[in-house]
Structure formats: structure tokens, C-alpha cells
């Protein structure tokens, strides 16, 4: 069947309208005769007149399709895809809107450029119409739609890649404080996608996105503060933004935060925090995290074997809490015992709790009391509170609130906030409530 015969047969209109359609279609000429007939045939049940309406735009604006055959063929192909994805009603509504909107486009000097503009506008309308099927009420002012259109242009999804248009749609969403759109604008500025590379401006976008709560942006801001790219180098601020992202599960932020804690950059050095965050990054499969975690554990182990009391305590905490290792009470006891012998107050307090609760060792309240007293003598903030608890509850000693208050005062002087609160309140009541709501396992 010839192309013009096909149009006349499949268009259900009055004879005079059929003649008008034939006239419009003749402007298509042989440019689409060879390939569009089969595509249009599949459109016969889905509003073929919409195709003629768009052809009328081309005819009116350009006087024919002799110079835009490729665009015309693409349009016909798309009409076919549209009718299968959206059905007759959606198809007709979308293309009527698109064609009406196309009349307001300023004709380009090139017929091909103009055809491309009309075609892209049709794509936009159909894209939005498809979104409305699962998101009723969506429109061009919806940031969700604007980001989807930006993605369509940036990733060549049904249209030629066009970073300029993609950025335009992201900017419309960014005006509405959409954090993801602002983040994506930062990425385009950083990578030079459609614009010259501008890391300083990219940093401004990342920072604004992070302040709006975007987790990926928080990790990026942390990285920029860490390296001094686009933002002045500041390890403290880097740690702040990495922590926000790390707590939300961002593996790269977890690994970077671990390194800052390990090296004491911007934060007080804390091997336990460091190993904990690196362990989280390794579990998430972050590249290099597992190897770095292994290196950290080896360094701590070697230091403990060489008589480093703090390293022994760190190993005790790792095994006690299962940080980077399999939780193991016996191993925790072993390393706390070594740390206590080497003079670590924290190890003495933790070992005291092991004896008090019978974890990894037979319960021995007298030994627990001795260890708490020695740890308190060295200034451990928790040991005095633990001694006060023993006297209030009568654990291995006679109940004695006066003696308990003595130990609470010492604990408070060492900075224990629970002791401070207990002294402000009723000490016995506070401690009993605390023990009831907390496991005394540390």
C-alpha cells in the first residue's frame, strides 16, 4: 500500500477532511515513504490524526520536509512507540498538547534544528504523560518531573544528548530547593558537562544540597574540605560532613571518617571509632576498606604484643563489641586483663565489669571492686559510678548510700555525667532507674 493511500484509508474523516489530510501528507513526500509506512500502520488504532497535526506544524513553519527527512522518520517511529505505551487516549492528548505548544517555538534558521526542537518537545510531553500514569497530577512545575526531564537530556534517553537542556531542567527544580537537582548541577559543574569546569561553583551547589539534607552531597562536601578543592581545607569540617553521611550508610564517607579518626585529623584520635567505621565501609564493599581494616587490626595487635596498654584495651573493646572481629567474651577478657596489668585505667574498669557480670570469667565481686577502685584512682570517669552502683544495690558489699554518694562525687569530678545527674536527683532512685534501663556490660 502506498503511503498516501494508507493515510486516506486509515484516517476516519469526512471526504473533504481526507483531502486536507492527503494535502498535508503530500508535504512529507518520499522522505518518509520508504520507512514510515509500516510504523504509521501500527498507529492506525491510536489517533493517526495527531500525526497529521504535527506534520501540519512542519508544513506551516517550513513549507515541507525535503530537508528534514531524518527528523520526520524519527517522529513517525516515535508516534508508533507512543501509541503502544500510552494507548489512543493518552496518545491523542499528549500530541495535541505538544503540537499546540510547538506553535510558540521560534523557528530556527535551520529546518533540521527546528524539527529537532519540535520532536524534543513532543518527547517531553509524552515523558510527562507517562509519569502521570503512576504519579497523578504530575506536571512541568513538579521537581520530580523536572529532574526526570533533565535526566532524559543528560543521558540521551529517547532524545539526543543535550547537557544545556538538561541543566535547564535541573535549574528549574533547584529554584524549588530540590536537593538532588542542586547536587546534580554541582556534578555537571565539577565534570564540565555542557559547561566549563568550575569546581568552586560546584562546591557551592554541593554545600547547599548538603545543607538541605542530601546525603551524597554531605559526603562530597566532606571530600572537598578534606582535599581543599573548591573549599578551604578544613579537617574538622570534613569530619563533620563525613559523619552525617557515614551515619546514613555512605561507605565512602565511612572510610574517610575512619582515616580521620585514625590519624587524629580534625577530631581526637580514636582507634575504636576508626576501626568501627572502616569495618562498616568494608562490610558495604567499599574498595580498599577491607585491606585497610586488616592493616589497622595488625598494627593494634602488634602494639599490644609490644606492651602498649592502650592497644590492649582497644583489642578488648573490639572483641567485647564485635568491632571488626567476631564478638568473643573470652578474647575480650584476655586483652582487658593484659591492658589492666599494663596500667590502663579503662581496661581496669572494663575488666571489673567482666568480673562483676561473670563474662569470660567466673563472677568475682571482690575482684571487681578492687579493679574499680584502682581505675578510679587513675581518673577513670566510669569506675566511681560503678562502685556507687555496687553500694546502692549491695553487690558484694553492704548497702550504704553515704559511701555510694562518695563514689558518685569522685565520678562526677572525673566528668561522669550520670554521676552528676544522680547527685542532683535522689542518688538511690537515679542509680536504680539507670541500672534498670541499661545493661551493665561495658
The model's pLDDT over 223-254, given as tens digits with 9 standing for 90+, comes to 999 999 999 999 999 999 999 999 999 999 99
User: For residues 400 and 406, is the Cβ–Cβ distance under 8 A?
Assistant: no
The range of the structural domain enclosing residue 15 comes to: 1-134
Query: Residue written as cell 569530619?
Result: 239
Interval 150-165 mean pLDDT: 90
Asked if the model's pLDDT at residue 159 lies above 90, the reply is: no
With H, G, I as helix, E, B as strand and everything else as coil, classify residue 290.
Answer: helix
* Predicted local distance difference test score (pLDDT) of residue 36: 37
pLDDT range class, residue 137, cuts 50, 70, 90 = confident
Instruction: Give the confidence band of 125 by pLDDT, cuts at 50, 70, 90.
Output: confident
* Residue 307 in domain: no
d(CA 323, CA 346): 17
- The answer to whether residue 400 sits within a structural domain is no
205 part of a folded domain: no
Count structural domains, the chain: 1
Average per-residue pLDDT for the chain: 80
Query: So what's the pLDDT on residue 180?
Result: 97
Q: Give the position of cell 492528548.
A: 93
H-helix segments, 309-400: 309-321, 329-341, 345-357, 365-377, 383-393
Residue 61 burial class via C-beta count within 10 angstroms: exposed 0-12, middle 13-18, buried 19 and up: middle
Residue 135 reports pLDDT greater than 60: yes
pLDDT value of position 118 = 61
pLDDT higher than threshold 50 for residue 360: yes
353 in a domain, yes or no? no
Do residues 304 and 335 make contact, with C-beta atoms less than 8 angstroms apart?
Answer: yes
- Separation of CA 379 from chain center: 42
pLDDT bucket at 337, cuts 50 / 70 / 90: very high
- Does residue 56 have a pLDDT over 50? no
Residue 103 lies in a domain: yes
CB 344 within 8 A of CB 313: yes
Estimate to the nearest angstrom the gap between the alpha carbon of 128 and the chain centroid: 25
Mean pLDDT of 401-420: 95
- Inside any domain, residue 164: no
In a domain, 312, yes or no: no
- Under the banding of pLDDT at 50, 70 and 90, the label for residue 93 is low
**pLDDT for the residue numbered 138:** 81
d(CA 196, CA 199): 10
Confidence band, pLDDT 50/70/90 cuts, at residue 113: low
pLDDT above 50: residue 420: yes
Task: Report if residue 39 sits inside a domain.
Answer: yes
**Helices of type H across 192-286:** 199-211, 215-227, 235-247, 251-263, 271-283
Amino acid at each position: 500500500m502506498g503511503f498516501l493511500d494508507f493515510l486516506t484509508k486509515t484516517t476516519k474523516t469526512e471526504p473533504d477532511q481526507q483531502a486536507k489530510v492527503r494535502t498535508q501528507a503530500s508535504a512529507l513526500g518520499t522522505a518518509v515513504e520508504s520507512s514510515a509506512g509500516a510504523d504509521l500502520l501500527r498507529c492506525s488504532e491510536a489517533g493517526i490524526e495527531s500525526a497529521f497535526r504535527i506534520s501540519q506544524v512542519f508544513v506551516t513553519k517550513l513549507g515541507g520536509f525535503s530537508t528534514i527527512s531524518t527528523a520526520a522518520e524519527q517522529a513517525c517511529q516515535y508516534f508508533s512507540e507512543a501509541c503502544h505505551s500510552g494507548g489512543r487516549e493518552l496518545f491523542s492528548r499528549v500530541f495535541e498538547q505538544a503540537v499546540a505548544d510547538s506553535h510558540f517555538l521560534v523557528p530556527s534558521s535551520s529546518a533540521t534544528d527546528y524539527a529537532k526542537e519540535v520532536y524534543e518537545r513532543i518527547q517531553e510531553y509524552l515523558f510527562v504523560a507517562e509519569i502521570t500514569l503512576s504519579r497523578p497530577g504530575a506536571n512541568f512545575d513538579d521537581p520530580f518531573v523536572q529532574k526526570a526531564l533533565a535526566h532524559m537530556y543528560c543521558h540521551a534517553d529517547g532524545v539526543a544528548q543535550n547537557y544545556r537542556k538538561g541543566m535547564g531542567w535541573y535549574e528549574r527544580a533547584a529554584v524549588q530547593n530540590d536537593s538532588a537537582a542542586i547536587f546534580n548541577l554541582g556534578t555537571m559543574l565539577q565534570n564540565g558537562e555542557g559547561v566549563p569546569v568550575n569546581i568552586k561553583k560546584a562546591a557551592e551547589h554541593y554545600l547547599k544540597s548538603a545543607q538541605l539534607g542530601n546525603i551524597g552531597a554531605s559526603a562530597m562536601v566532606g571530600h572537598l574540605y578534606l582535599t581543599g578543592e573548591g573549599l578551604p581545607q578544613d579537617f574538622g569540617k570534613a569530619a563533620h560532613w563525613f559523619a552525617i553521611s557515614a551515619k546514613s550508610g555512605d561507605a565512602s564517607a565511612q572510610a574517610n571518617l575512619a582515616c580521620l579518626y585514625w590519624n587524629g585529623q580534625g577530631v581526637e584520635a580514636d582507634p575504636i571509632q576508626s576501626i568501627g567505621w572502616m569495618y562498616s565501609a568494608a562490610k558495604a564493599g567499599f574498595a580498599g576498606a577491607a585491606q585497610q581494616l586488616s592493616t589497622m587490626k595488625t598494627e593494634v595487635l602488634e602494639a599490644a604484643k609490644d606492651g602498649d596498654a592502650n592497644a590492649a584495651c582497644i583489642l578488648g573493646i573490639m572483641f567485647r563489641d564485635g568491632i571488626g572481629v567476631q564478638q568473643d567474651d573470652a578474647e575480650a577478657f584476655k586483652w582487658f586483663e593484659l591492658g589492666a596489668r599494663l596500667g590502663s585505667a579503662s581496661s581496669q574498669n572494663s575488666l571489673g565489669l567482666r568480673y562483676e557480670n561473670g563474662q569470660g570469667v567466673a563472677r568475682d565481686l571482690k575482684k571487681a571492686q578492687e579493679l574499680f577502685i584502682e581505675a578510679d584512682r587513675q581518673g577513670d570517669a566510669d569506675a566511681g559510678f560503678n562502685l556507687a552502683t555496687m553500694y546502692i544495690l549491695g553487690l558484694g558489699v553492704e548497702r550504704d548510700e553515704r559511701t555510694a554518694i562518695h563514689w558518685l562525687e569522685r565520678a562526677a569530678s572525673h566528668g561522669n555525667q550520670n554521676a552528676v545527674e544522680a547527685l542532683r536527683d535522689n542518688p538511690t532512685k537515679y542509680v536504680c532507674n539507670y541500672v534498670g534501663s541499661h545493661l551493665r556490660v561495658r
